[in-house]
Structure 1
Amino acid sequence: MPTDRFPPLRTDNDRIALIDGDRRVSYGALHGAVERLATGLLGGKADLEEERIAFFLPAGTDYVTLLHGVWRAGGIAVPLNVGATLDELDHYLGCARVTRLVAHAGDHAMLGELCARLGIDLLRPDELMAAQAGALPEIVEDRRAMMVFTSGTTSKPKGVVTTHGNIRAQITVLLDAWGWSGEDRIPLFLPLHHVHGIINILSCALWAGASVHLFPRFDAAAVAARVSAGDYTVFMAVPTVYVKLLDHLDGLDEGAARAMCEGFAAMRLTVSGSAACPVPLFEQWRARTGQVLLERYGMTEIGMALSNPYRGERRAGHVGQPLPGVEVRLYGEDDRPIGEEGQPGEIRVKGPNVFLEYWDNEEATRASFRDGWFCTGDMAVVERGYYRIMGRTSIDIIKSGGYKLSALEIEAVLLAHPAIAEAAVIGVEDATWGEVVAAFLVTRPGAAVSAEEIAAWCGERLSSYKVPRQVRFVDSLPRNAMGKVTKPDLKALLTSA
């Protein structure tokens, strides 16, 4: 079905859409700015005809206006990581064959030479704003809308192309599943080049008519102050953010700590995603704030596929059940569906939420599907009706002595040790066992623990073949912008030692 505005934006001036620093932007003002920017992008054309427009912008009104403006003008929005290196940006821009890049004036010096070499017009947001809105094209749902690059944890980042219909499906399933309403208020401090920030927070909130408080980056003190003031009803973050908030909480005096905990306790929903939430963190958050985190599973190519229930049991260490309208199956190495609980398999997904293609990469697109099912590359097991993620088939599943070990399971045991703040587990080649478990650990400030103590701790809680054979203590774990540990970097660290 055609739509003249996607996603739909309210036009009422008495409802606040965005809080951006000291600015409060109504839905009416945002709608008007989007239409004028779309008109400016068109520059007299009838339709952008899927021109790739990239933007290098932090969370703010300019970002939101440009994202919707590109959609309204018929272009493909390419949001970029504002923390990316020039080499990474070179890959993104060249891969997408971007024609125009929009960035604030302060970033033009850094981006100028790259854009000149690639033949890309470098512009400021204000340069694109028309004096008044003009005629805008009709947008049908099977048109390409956005290109978001994968994290690149296992291969070179690929451009994931979603249509307007894909985005609609990804948003609307969460509106019902997570109880969104126009009365909601949510902070947005996550990177806006991933679906967690773009779809789960920004797009769901605007579709519902809720208010979004924009932060250019995560600031524990600033966010905590607004939480303590009771400003939010919904909160979504990655596990590392919850760790930082607990650390901030520990540094507050009794009154301030109580106010922060009460602010979280009053919210109707807190969500954790983009990386596995360790069970100790899940339990610690519940003990301190009274909130039971809702953990879910998704990825760039599919939006969200699995979720713990908004109403009902939210099980620690599990990501729940398939969302309405999303088909999920586990497949074994023989490419056959797994029909019984307790048997691990690869997650495969089918539904209107699944992306269209990897941009300009027909081979990778074809290889990622089997009989219409998207192969996620993630392993999971169903336990008492709930899915539990075991990790990436390529890096989180360790094959040792005929066993398939979940790195995430071993990490959860390590994180339960009182001296361990962060943990990452990988498999390393071994002539006898095929692979053995290696653990990289970050200790808590002032804590001391030996490799022998770690082995003893794990030996009491894990089968012997799961106990780390190698233990390395490090100052920090390498992570990408979404807080996921980049395990190939750990392997490189191990081999370079």
Structure 2
Amino acid sequence: MLYLFHKAHSLPQKIAIIDSEGSHSYQKLNTDSDQIASFLLQGNPDLNEKRVAFMVNPGFDYVKIQWAVWKAGGIAVPLCITYPLPSLSYVIEDTQAELIISGPEYIEVLQDYAEEKGIRFLTLSDLGSSVSSLSLPKIESSRGAMILYTSGTTSLPKGVLTTHANIESQISTLIEAWQWTEKDHTICLLPLHHVHGIINVVSCALWAGATVEFLHPFDAKQVFGKFREGKINVFMAVPTIYFKLVSEFESSSEKEKEALFDCMKQFRLMVSGSAALPVSVMEKWKEISGHYLLERYGMTEIGMAISNPYEGPRKAGYIGKPLPRVETRLVDEENKPVEIGQPGEIQIKGPSVFKEYWGKPEATAKAFTQDGWFKTGDIAVVEEGYYRILGRDSVDIIKSGGYKISALEIEEVLRKHPAIKDCGVVGIPDEEWGELVYAALVALEPIDFKALNQWMREKMPAYKTPRNYIQMDDLPRNAMGKVVKNELKKLFNPESK
């Protein structure tokens, strides 16, 4: 039995999941997922790592499907519920999924496609059929468990295959580092086709015997309503969610603000990740909640690798120190370790690191060094023992006039301007300079770019100051709230379209 299912047996009456349909015990989760697993097997002893794609709303139904696929010996392929059919078909066809499971909301999106492609198609109501046998296969931890897709911010999304051993390592690392227990109660607001929601929130909670509550779709007012009930004590979100919650808080009455502050101050842990957290949001959240958010660093390929401490000083703008059982190093362009204080690419080793890019042996080989380190492509520096991200080598490190410039550093300065709500900084090719620094702004009012440039030059060296600006209503983002920098570049550089 995979350890993830342990609490479902040892705490059968405990509430595992709360969603729009009500409360669901660990025993029900265990029983329902066993029955569905048996149904999926159709009398066969094992799915033998067949890929099972599923498009189901966040909640009990999602988790029981995921568990059932694992119990039957399949590889889970969760589909993003907001993607259009072309994006879904890319994932289904790339994984060669042999079965698609759909919630009632997505039948119209998927059924005709599945029939056209000759893929077995099931709805949630189909899974309610009776089964004659509950004999399930023994699953070795070395077997494939899940394929998640990279965000595709820099290239076509790649399928990341993790084994059960990888997943167990990713979860147990966070259980230890963030001190999860069965007394915890968390809320999931995050997409469940991504490691942040699946591993950090849902799987950690269920591994620990805690309760996970689902709220779908996201609504800031409802989130604060859940907070005021006084049950939730662990909260994880992306920076865009924190920004929306801050806006909702500021629109509340003074009495409501006081009640919310008193409530949030009682939380055990609040975490931010999946995108860089602006220091301004970090400071504002501390003011309204009493919590200095714990920032951490991870990727689809590695789970979480680096984190600010649960106990101890958390540093704004830093991702922290390596997590238990995770090896890290910074290297230069020749793959040699850099001196302390010098920037380098983060490389990772350990049992949490994924097995391979699905169906892409060349990309897999290219992602690792000869001695087995995974190359993240993220550039960082270590200062006083804490890692600070400078950006992603391909999109956030701008090479201009012989300098390597961090787009994230410039963004952080721009966000301090009183009229700027958010921004994205990119490097645009230039014959003379190599690249020039350009910035897209989301502002509260029309911006005088000349005055802004003068303001910027008081804050940082001239060579880091953007050469060009545009103002927009919002920045292009993926499902996790990350700014898609390649889309931004097209706005400045029509030739990149």
TM-score band, normalised by the shorter chain? Answer: over 0.9
Equivalent in the alignment of 1:475: 473
Quick one: which of 449, 452, 464 aligns to 1:451?
449
* Offset at residue 5 of structure 1 (A): 6.0
Preserved contact between residue 225 and residue 260 of structure 1 (Cα < 8 Å): no
For structure 2, which runs of at least 5 residues remain unmatched after alignment?
A: none
Equivalent in the alignment of 2:426: 426
Q: Distance in 1 between matches of 2:235 and 2:172?
A: 18
Preserved contact between residue 3 and residue 168 of structure 2 (Cα < 8 Å): no
* Offset at residue 126 of structure 1 (A): 2.9
Q: Distance in 2 between matches of 1:128 and 1:229?
A: 34
Preserved contact between residue 442 and residue 473 of structure 1 (Cα < 8 Å): yes
Describe how 1:350-429 pairs up with structure 2 within 5 A: 350-370=349-369, 371-429=371-429
Equivalent in the alignment of 1:269: 269
Note if 1:282 corresponds to 2:304. no
Preserved contact between residue 151 and residue 480 of structure 1 (Cα < 8 Å): yes
Preserved contact between residue 349 and residue 372 of structure 2 (Cα < 8 Å): yes
Equivalent in the alignment of 1:78: 77
Equivalent in the alignment of 1:191: 191
Q: Distance in 2 between matches of 1:200 and 1:485?
A: 21
Describe how 1:29-40 pairs up with structure 2 within 5 A: 29-40=28-39
* Offset at residue 130 of structure 1 (A): 5.1
Alpha-carbon displacement from aligned partner over 1:288-322 (angstroms, at most 9, x marks no partner)? 21101000000000000000000001000000010
Note if 1:66 corresponds to 2:65. yes
For structure 1, which runs of at least 5 residues remain unmatched after alignment?
A: none
Name which of structure 1's ranges 213-222 and 318-327 shifts more when overlaid on structure 2.
213-222
What one-letter code is carried by the residue in structure 2 that aligns with 1:418?
A: P
Q: Distance in 1 between matches of 2:187 and 2:374?
A: 32
Q: Distance in 1 between matches of 2:125 and 2:328?
A: 44
Secondary structure of the 1:81 match is coil
Seen in structure 2, the aligned counterparts of structure 1 residues 301 and 194 have a Cα distance that, compared at 3 Å, is same
What one-letter code is carried by the residue in structure 2 that aligns with 1:452?
A: K
Equivalent in the alignment of 1:137: 137
Q: Distance in 1 between matches of 2:354 and 2:117?
A: 27
Equivalent in the alignment of 2:25: 26
Q: Distance in 2 between matches of 1:464 and 1:361?
A: 43
Preserved contact between residue 6 and residue 71 of structure 1 (Cα < 8 Å): no
Note if 1:88 corresponds to 2:87. yes
Note if 1:490 corresponds to 2:491. no
What one-letter code is carried by the residue in structure 2 that aligns with 1:443?
A: A
Q: Distance in 1 between matches of 2:251 and 2:232?
A: 22
* Offset at residue 217 of structure 1 (A): 2.3
Describe how 1:320-331 pairs up with structure 2 within 5 A: 320-331=320-331
Seen in structure 2, the aligned counterparts of structure 1 residues 281 and 6 have a Cα distance that, compared at 3 Å, is closer
Preserved contact between residue 190 and residue 217 of structure 1 (Cα < 8 Å): no
* Offset at residue 22 of structure 1 (A): 4.4
What one-letter code is carried by the residue in structure 1 that aligns with 2:225?
A: A
Equivalent in the alignment of 1:293: 293
Note if 1:100 corresponds to 2:99. yes
* Offset at residue 252 of structure 1 (A): 1.0
Q: Distance in 2 between matches of 1:451 and 1:377?
A: 32
Preserved contact between residue 391 and residue 408 of structure 1 (Cα < 8 Å): yes
Alpha-carbon displacement from aligned partner over 1:34-92 (angstroms, at most 9, x marks no partner)? 11111111111100000100101120111000001100110000001001111101110
Secondary structure of the 2:227 match is helix
* Offset at residue 449 of structure 1 (A): 2.6
* Offset at residue 257 of structure 1 (A): 1.7
* Offset at residue 113 of structure 1 (A): 2.5
Preserved contact between residue 58 and residue 192 of structure 2 (Cα < 8 Å): yes
Equivalent in the alignment of 1:179: 179
Equivalent in the alignment of 2:203: 203
Secondary structure of the 1:490 match is helix
Q: Distance in 1 between matches of 2:71 and 2:3?
A: 6
* Offset at residue 418 of structure 1 (A): 1.1
TM-score when scaled to structure 1? 0.97
Equivalent in the alignment of 1:442: 442
Equivalent in the alignment of 1:113: 112
Equivalent in the alignment of 2:319: 319
What one-letter code is carried by the residue in structure 2 that aligns with 1:364?
A: A
Seen in structure 2, the aligned counterparts of structure 1 residues 210 and 6 have a Cα distance that, compared at 3 Å, is closer
Q: Distance in 2 between matches of 1:42 and 1:124?
A: 16
Q: Distance in 2 between matches of 1:4 and 1:310?
A: 27
Alignment RMSD: 1.3
Preserved contact between residue 295 and residue 319 of structure 1 (Cα < 8 Å): yes
Secondary structure of the 1:34 match is helix
Equivalent in the alignment of 1:43: 42
Alpha-carbon displacement from aligned partner over 1:170-214 (angstroms, at most 9, x marks no partner)? 000000100101010111010000000000000000000000011
What one-letter code is carried by the residue in structure 2 that aligns with 1:222?
A: Q
Preserved contact between residue 48 and residue 73 of structure 1 (Cα < 8 Å): yes
What one-letter code is carried by the residue in structure 1 that aligns with 2:149?
A: F
Q: Distance in 2 between matches of 1:7 and 1:368?
A: 32
Q: Distance in 1 between matches of 2:241 and 2:372?
A: 36
Equivalent in the alignment of 2:154: 154
Q: Distance in 2 between matches of 1:141 and 1:217?
A: 34
Secondary structure of the 1:197 match is helix
Secondary structure of the 1:170 match is helix
Q: Distance in 2 between matches of 1:89 and 1:474?
A: 29
What one-letter code is carried by the residue in structure 1 that aligns with 2:459?
A: R
Alpha-carbon displacement from aligned partner over 1:424-467 (angstroms, at most 9, x marks no partner)? 000011222111110000002xx343111221221111111101
Secondary structure of the 1:94 match is helix
Query: Percent same amino acid at aligned positions?
Result: 48
Preserved contact between residue 405 and residue 466 of structure 1 (Cα < 8 Å): yes
Seen in structure 2, the aligned counterparts of structure 1 residues 180 and 6 have a Cα distance that, compared at 3 Å, is closer
Query: Aligned residue pairs: how many?
Result: 492
Q: Distance in 1 between matches of 2:471 and 2:165?
A: 47
Name which of structure 1's ranges 71-80 and 16-25 shifts more when overlaid on structure 2.
16-25
* Offset at residue 99 of structure 1 (A): 0.8
Equivalent in the alignment of 1:335: 335
Preserved contact between residue 12 and residue 25 of structure 2 (Cα < 8 Å): yes
Quick one: which of 439, 461, 464 aligns to 1:463?
461
* Offset at residue 281 of structure 1 (A): 0.8
What one-letter code is carried by the residue in structure 1 that aligns with 2:468?
A: Q
Describe how 1:240-259 pairs up with structure 2 within 5 A: 240-259=240-259
Secondary structure of the 2:399 match is strand
Secondary structure of the 2:39 match is helix
Secondary structure of the 2:125 match is helix
What one-letter code is carried by the residue in structure 1 that aligns with 2:295?
A: E
Secondary structure of the 1:8 match is helix
Equivalent in the alignment of 2:15: 16
* Offset at residue 6 of structure 1 (A): 4.4
Name which of structure 1's ranges 463-472 and 222-231 shifts more when overlaid on structure 2.
222-231
* Offset at residue 118 of structure 1 (A): 2.3
